[in-house]
Amino acid sequence: MVLGTHCTTPGLYLPFDRSYTFDGNTWTSVQMPAAWNGRGPSAMAWDPAAGMLMTWGGSSDKEQYTDTWYGDGVTWRKVAG
């Protein structure tokens, strides 16, 4: 899974809210919840106990995010922040 990203052109910061899953052959676009703001680098890890991905933080050109989200790659819910 690729979760968000940002443009790295010098002097230009454009966070994207695009996310994708990969099934081994094809990348598929995933619609993130409206509350998930486009953001640059965030941390992501697999939580084996929950059987879900967990993502935390990130930033835009105006804000640092400290929220935590759990999801299966398609459905996401905010759990903190």
pLDDT tens string 36-63:
776 777 778 899 998 998 888 887 777 8
How far is residue 30's CA from residue 28's CA, in Å, rounded to a whole number? 6
Q: What residue ranges in 1-81 does DSSP mark as E strands? A: 2-6, 15-22, 27-30, 43-47, 52-59, 64-71, 76-80
pTM of the model: 0.67
Boundaries of every domain in the chain: 2-80
Please give the share of the chain, as a percent, with pLDDT higher than 70. 72
